[in-house]
């Protein structure tokens, strides 16, 4: 997956913003102010693409057991977040899109209904 594709997918979601709240290299996607995806653009430029996505703890355990490219979230709550090393090309684009969708919906469902 290309970085532009990831950005387009994230921004196509209702209520999504793209920000750089931590530094000028960590791109963060939020749904109504809550993070659902992060990636380091310098790593993408150096062929070490990865993305942090949220999921439920049970699914995270399953994903980590089944895929070497999915590890506990770097600089995140490791129970709820995964880092997916995309450069390893273990997952196809459809699987990445599915995990991105799950992260978005998991975060969006916790947003107060007034913001939706």
Note the pLDDT of residue 77. Answer: 92
Classified by CATH at the fold level, domain 3-91 comes out as 3.90.1150
Note the pLDDT of residue 102. Answer: 97
* Of 70, 75, 73, residue with least CA distance to 22: 75
Cβ burial of 109 (10 Å; 0-12, 13-18, 19+) is exposed
Cβ burial of 104 (10 Å; 0-12, 13-18, 19+) is buried
Q: Residues 41, 27: contact at Cβ < 8 Å?
A: yes
Q: List per-residue pLDDT tens for the chain, 116 residues long.
A: 999 999 999 999 999 999 999 999 999 999 999 999 999 999 999 999 999 999 999 999 999 999 999 999 988 999 999 999 998 889 999 999 999 999 999 999 987 765 55
Q: Residues 83, 52: contact at Cβ < 8 Å?
A: yes
Enumerate residues 6+ apart whose C-beta is below 8 A from 21.
Answer: 28
Note the pLDDT of residue 19. Answer: 97
Q: What count of residues does the chain have? A: 116
């Amino acid at each position: 997956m290309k970085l532009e594709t990831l950005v387009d997918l994230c921004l196509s979601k209702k209520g999504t913003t793209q920000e750089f709240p931590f530094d000028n290299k960590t791109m963060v996607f939020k749904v109504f102010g809550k993070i659902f995806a992060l990636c380091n653009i310098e790593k993408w430029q150096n062929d070490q693409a990865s993305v942090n996505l949220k999921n439920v703890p049970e699914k995270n355990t399953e994903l980590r057991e089944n895929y070497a490219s999915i590890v506990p979230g770097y600089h995140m709550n490791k129970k709820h977040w995964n880092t997916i090393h995309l450069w390893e090309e273990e997952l196809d684009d459809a699987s990445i899109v599915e995990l991105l969708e799950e992260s978005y919906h998991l975060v969006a469902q916790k947003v107060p209904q007034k913001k939706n």
